[in-house]
Amino acid sequence: MLDSGDIRPGQNRTTTVERGSFSIARCSCGWSGPARRARAIARDDAAVHATARHPPSDTSDSSDSSD
């Protein structure tokens, strides 16, 4: 099983798991990708999910809010 490496508290973790001759990307949020024959494509699915659904929390929001 491969995983997304170091994660901070509150961050989601992506992994790939093997099922027979298929590899599946999964996330700790409950998401799972389609079964892929190529591990690299399953890892790409996980990376796309993590980027689209779980943006890095250390980005600063520069929008000004008016109260």
**Domain extents for the chain?**
2-53
Residue 9 and residue 43: Cα distance in Å, rounded? 22
Burial class (CB within 10 angstroms; exposed 0-12, middle 13-18, buried 19+) of 1: exposed
Q: Tell whether the model's pLDDT for residue 52 goes beyond 70.
A: yes
Query: 17: helix, coil or strand?
Result: strand
Q: How many CA atoms lie within 13 A of 25 on its CB side?
A: 21
Whole-model pTM?
0.67
Looking at per-residue pLDDT, the higher value among 39 and 62 belongs to 39
- Over residues 38-54, the mean pLDDT reads 93
CA of 23: how far to CAs of 17, 29, 53, 66, in Å? 6, 18, 21, 48
